A and B are shown apart, each in its own frame.
Chain A
């Protein structure tokens, strides 16, 4: 089963994402901020990570840096935030994000489709 780790501090969004991804057949792991995400990512071994930017304790950028510097795992990270300025995009890509999405543009189903697309691309690339 495909496993997705969702790092998102908004409880409602956690619920929406969990429902939609589970219905689509994903094994869903929810983490409330970057810090708890980074401490469990090695153990949980997700196939893909959905990452918010503005979060308490450790934000999305810091998570990306920590993932690159402190772990040896390679996992695609899709940044999904409601920040749309170019700086955020540039910074996220520079820190190693595979894709950057504007949260408000996606309904639950559309987000699932997007993630499935990225996973598919990754599989065919291998």
Chain B
């Protein structure tokens, strides 16, 4: 039925190339409209190649093949345009454009097949390429093919301009193939030059190569894995054919060797491909599991904070009552107690207060760890805060027989941007610690600033129990209390951990230095000063 001269054989190979591209597409057409449209385009190209082979064979169906060839060409343009309107995203109103172009295409197909307005007849040739006598409407035919291509190219050129690299390869392949075909298969025949009439079909190979590259590189339309397998099988079929049709021993050996190498390469390619695909599936599964676990954690986290919030409320209620009754007694509201009784009730009060502080610390740590610690930033006058707390703490220190010294710079301004309540909590905590861990000697508070890096330093030094090197390292960790904590008991072991978190939230640092156990210690807080805006 077909005559296989050199060109037709070449075209048959081109057909196989296109078919190889179609196969992986077919696997995905059912669940993807873009792939479906693209597959139809490839089917049209296949028809176009086959009809060219038929037409060139110049057999008894010569006229039928000729007209079929020109019908196939129309639908390549139309389906290409449809594809560009669907890929990578669906163009708005795409449906209406496609309706119009399809109506025109079917109209033209009618003219090509059943009238002589576009094609009058084919002219068979014994020696060269067969010729064609075109009708008066042939220019219209050219337009009907050109317009959808121009529309399709415009859409993809626009997307490439918008940096869509995936589309770039598809566009490049199609534009090279289509431009060649436009000249060799549409324009030259118009001028009676038929010898290149098959070149357009041949050049679809460019489109196939670019598209394949794009599929492999970007996994366009999600068919990369299958495409590789099809490619390998295709390669093996071709090399096997070479072995089977070898016409000399030398060729047979060469082809055999090629087949051997191809088989091994192909085997490993498919194997690697499979493991890559399994890995991808596996990672997708893991991702889903992780997402699920994350959801569960989130709800657990919420439960946890609700639980903590409720628990702390429940703990505070009896503490409030204990503190309330104890203070009612010590304040003499219901009559004076004797000094011993008063001291005992005072202990009840301070212990309850200590426990309330522990609850507070736990609550704050939970807030910090869940990122829920809320800071109310504003301009804070540190000098005032330190001054206020110094007078409170002086009493506490002197009650314990300690010397309380304060060295507050009264020249400079100590305004910073921060949460006044929380910073006060940090400073109080440091001074309170110093008093707690100092049996005799002094506790000294100082406030200085460094004009070079625009920072301020609050420090508390004491002549207390000091800190060993080992203790220093874990001092700011949760429950990382110092060795001497047995001295005073109480406290949550969270104070310095909280202080550090709060200072860091103010973009500051907290440091400790000590010459060693028994040699006192110094805690320093560095905070950036608020830069005055020029008035």
Report whether A20 and B320 are in contact in the complex, using a CB–CB cutoff of 8 Å: no
Distance between Cα atoms of A86 and B313 in the complex (Å): 14
Contacts A83-B313, A85-B309; is A108 near B320 (CB within 8 Å)?
A: no
Q: Which residues of B contact A23 (CB under 8 A)?
A: 333
Q: At the interface, yes or no: B532 with Cβ under 8 Å from chain A? A: no
Picked from A16, A82, A85, A86, the residue with its CB within 8 Å of the CB of B324 is: A16
Distance between Cα atoms of A109 and B333 in the complex (Å): 9
How many whole Å from A116's CB to the nearest CB in chain B? 15
How many whole Å from A88's CB to the nearest CB in chain B? 9
Q: At the interface, yes or no: B321 with Cβ under 8 Å from chain A? A: yes
Per-position 1/0 for A69-90, Cβ under 8 A of B: 0000000000000111110000
Chain B residues numbered 306-356 whose CB sits less than 8 Å from any CB in chain A: 309, 312-313, 316-317, 319-321, 323-328, 331, 333-334, 349, 356
Q: Which residues of A contact B30 (CB under 8 A)?
A: none
Q: Which residues of A contact B324 (CB under 8 A)?
A: 12-13, 16-17, 107-108
Q: Which residues of A contact B325 (CB under 8 A)?
A: 12, 16
B-to-A contact residues, CB < 8 Å:
309, 312-313, 316-317, 319-321, 323-328, 331, 333-334, 349, 356, 359-360, 363, 374
Report whether B363 and A84 are in contact in the complex, using a CB–CB cutoff of 8 Å: yes
Report whether B356 and A104 are in contact in the complex, using a CB–CB cutoff of 8 Å: yes
Report whether B327 and A107 are in contact in the complex, using a CB–CB cutoff of 8 Å: yes
Report whether A108 and B327 are in contact in the complex, using a CB–CB cutoff of 8 Å: yes
Per-position 1/0 for A2-33, Cβ under 8 A of B: 00000000101100110110010000000000
Distance between Cα atoms of A104 and B355 in the complex (Å): 10
Report whether A103 and B328 are in contact in the complex, using a CB–CB cutoff of 8 Å: no
Distance between Cα atoms of A17 and B324 in the complex (Å): 8
Picked from B320, B326, B333, B374, the residue with its CB within 8 Å of the CB of A19 is: B333
Residue ID in chain A nearest B318 by CB atoms: A12
Contacts A83-B309, A109-B333; is A13 near B328 (CB within 8 Å)?
A: no
Residue ID in chain A nearest B328 by CB atoms: A108
Q: Which residues of A contact B327 (CB under 8 A)?
A: 107-110
Q: Which residues of B contact A105 (CB under 8 A)?
A: 356
Distance between Cα atoms of A33 and B359 in the complex (Å): 26
Q: At the interface, yes or no: A54 with Cβ under 8 Å from chain B? A: yes
Contacts A82-B313, A85-B309, A86-B374; is A107 near B333 (CB within 8 Å)?
A: no
